[in-house]
Amino acid sequence: MENDRLNSDLITREYFDSLLISMRLIDSEKADTGIKIFGKKFLMPITTAALSHLNNTAEDGMAEMAKGAAMAGALCFSGMGEAEELKRMCDTGASVIKIVKPHENNEKVFAKILEAEEAGCFGVGMDIDHAFSGDGEYDNVMGLPMRPKSLKELISFTESTNLPFVIKGVLSVRDAKKCLEAGAAGIVVSHHHGIMRSAVPPLMVLPEIKKAVGSRMTIFVDCGIESGMDAYKALALGADAVCVGRAIMAPLKEKGAEGVCETLKSMNAELKAVMERTACVKLNKIDDSVIYHRNF
């Protein structure tokens, strides 16, 4: 890609790899990766990302992804899709959070929120980073016009449902505070895999966001999570959980739900091992005291 120095995905990967971990073995013990998200217990803080249109990856790919998450004891996010597909995802037994695009027509947004409720979703939310296109116009996703949303509009969305509302595409303290004001139950710190060049890596801005919102919202981190070590680094810098997208796509294509389950479990096993080797045997015991920034 031309001028890869500004590619946000590459910058994010470089930042992940620049973070080093100190070992603390004395008095450590076996780790527990169990987590409670919006009142429900899960076996791991690793979730699937809000992927969409996976039928080219596997037959009924979205439902297979959800099934794999359920098998692994993990939360599942969902992106674009029709009501029937969303219902099939929920029918697998997965806890699904439906992420709605910022449609120009708010009635379409409210209709999608209702679809999530009727399908039996665990939560719902909005992807705010598809408001604008790269050419300075409003975005258009698969023929559907998008628009940026005001704080007032976000409040109307969160107040329209009893489901936990998660806002995806937060990459600043400013927006994190606005999401809190809007009544969001959670945010996904993300640059949507490089939707804007030179975007700050999520983990670089994450500590500032955590300081600003504390434990008043659940903080998920997206973009570039490829391993249990990556997940650990995100948790150490303030995340409550992480979202995995690209890392599950090849296993999904090869083995369907079983591939997704195996990948999530393998990543969680690595996370558990790092927790044990740093004497952080509960998720809430992981902090940035283990992090060193490589400058050599």
Which member of 53, 192, 193, 293 is catalytic? 192
Q: Which residues contact 293 (CB under 8 A, 6 or more apart)?
A: 18, 19, 20
**Contact criterion met (CB below 8 Å) for 261 and 71:** yes
Rounded Cα distance, 90 and 145, in Å: 27
d(CA 229, CA 267) in angstroms, rounded, equals 8
Catalytic, 191? Answer: no
DSSP string, 52-88: ---TTTSTTHHHHHHHHHHHHT--EEE-S--HHHHHH
Distance in angstroms (rounded) separating the CA atoms of residues 112 and 115: 5
By annotation, the residues acting in catalysis are 192
